[in-house]
Amino acid sequence: MSHDAPLSPLAPKSAPEIPPLEGVRFGVGAAGVRYAGRTDVMLALLDARTTVAGVFTKSKCPSAPVDWCRDKLKGGKARALLVNSGNANAFTGKTGAQAVKFSAKLAAAATGAPERQIFLASTGVIGEPLDAHKFDGVLEKLAQEARPDGWLDAARAILTTDTYPKLSTRRATIAGVDVTISGFAKGAGMIAPDMATMLAFVFTDAAIGAEALQAMLESGVKGSFNAITVDGDTSTSDTLLLFATGAAKQRGAPKIEKASDKRLVEFKRALDAVLLDLAHQVVRDGEGARKFVEVTVTGADSARAAKRIAFSIANSPLVKTAIAGEDANWGRIVMAVGKAGENADRDRLAIWFGGVRVAHKGLRDPDYDEAEVSQIMKRDDIVINVDLGLGKGAATVWTCDLTKDYVAINGDYRS
């Protein structure tokens, strides 16, 4: 994150106040991984009873920390989370794997946690070796100074090209006991499912077994982190981890082992809300973004077909540049529907911008008013609806426009 980068115009007006969550404390510091004069390492300390779930990039070239986390997830327990920004430790071969092992060793020494219960994530430049020795001496200090109210500092420490920290929190009750779900994320470019250059960490004080957590997380990402795109590029580093400290058990909350348990209905809703809020914030901070765009496709053969068509629209550079130019060029929507590789019938297709129908039954809508739609295109938030008129399949995805600033940010990223 450059401190010179202007705040995204789509940023929330303020960061939410995140209350301390029993069982987790945060420490942040400056290890000088890549950036000068800013925090770039974050250590979260977790109580001994903490369970963990995770989902990761489907990239065939995953980073070394992703390999590490996938392996450690099998144990279902977590005691610490170490994250650095500035270097993704991806495509770094044996050196990357050694850096991960050394980082975990340092974190274990600093926290007293077993290495197998330490989770790691890195974000930043790909292909440059990560000098994990820079964490030596820093992590002890972070562990000693870790505080339960360090949410905003933790969210800031993991940013790269982001212009603001992304935080979210919700409350729910389980068997009459209040629990909290809070999290933070980073990501602004290289964003496309299967997650993105995206790191997200969500914490709850609920007492939930790892298997149930995993099932809820996998379900929750489908309509949130796996329904967003900034530029259609899937990162090597995507990591979303969900930790349950179990502290609410002392207040009478039951330990729940099955995701199908009816007592989790409200919790699931709150978890999904946190995931969607964080995913939307990532899109709103899309590199160079000026418009937040919701694309809903209905009337498709299946939900899968609808999602594929929605992404065809959301990832189209021609659609995204038209939105940047505030041009309701619905011909580009027709193009994106047609190329998606799913069933479509030109003569049944209908398209709306901001609730105004612009095309219907294979033709421009006879009631279409260009002036009305031009005003809609000036909004920060734009909704595009497409109905295929074929079946009951529906899906919604979120994206942003594509501006000259995206090119500038990514053209200069390594320099």
Contact in structure between 162 and 286 (CB atoms under 8 Å)? no
Helices (H), ranges, 171-302:
210-222, 265-284
Distance separating alpha carbons of residues 268 and 262, to the nearest angstrom: 10
What is the torsion angle, in degrees rounded to the nearest 10, for the CA atoms of residue 283, residue 287, residue 288 and residue 294? -20
- Neighbouring C-beta atoms of residue 19, cutoff 10 Å: 13
Q: Is 197 annotated as a binding residue?
A: yes
Distance separating alpha carbons of residues 294 and 200, to the nearest angstrom: 21
Contact in structure between 284 and 293 (CB atoms under 8 Å)? no
Distance separating alpha carbons of residues 232 and 197, to the nearest angstrom: 11
DSSP state of 78: -
Q: Is 410 annotated as a binding residue?
A: yes
Fill in the amino acid letter for 207.
A
Q: Is 160 annotated as a binding residue?
A: yes
What is the torsion angle, in degrees rounded to the nearest 10, for the CA atoms of residue 351, residue 315, residue 187 and residue 11? -30
Is residue 197 part of the annotated active site? The answer reads yes
The packing angle between helices 265-284 and 210-222, to 10°, is 50
Give which of 101, 96, 116, 121 is closest to 43, Cα–Cα: 121
Give which of 274, 411, 285, 294 is closest to 352, Cα–Cα: 294
Which among 169, 197, 204, 229 is annotated as catalytic? 197
Distance separating alpha carbons of residues 329 and 136, to the nearest angstrom: 55
Distance separating alpha carbons of residues 176 and 294, to the nearest angstrom: 36
Distance separating alpha carbons of residues 179 and 113, to the nearest angstrom: 25
Compute the C-alpha angle 184/187/190, nearest 5°: 155
Contact in structure between 7 and 164 (CB atoms under 8 Å)? yes
Q: Is 287 annotated as a binding residue?
A: yes
Give me the active site residues, please. Answer: 197
Residues in the annotated binding site: 160, 186, 197, 287, 410, 415
Q: Which residues are annotated as a binding site for substrate?
A: 160, 186, 197, 287, 410, 415
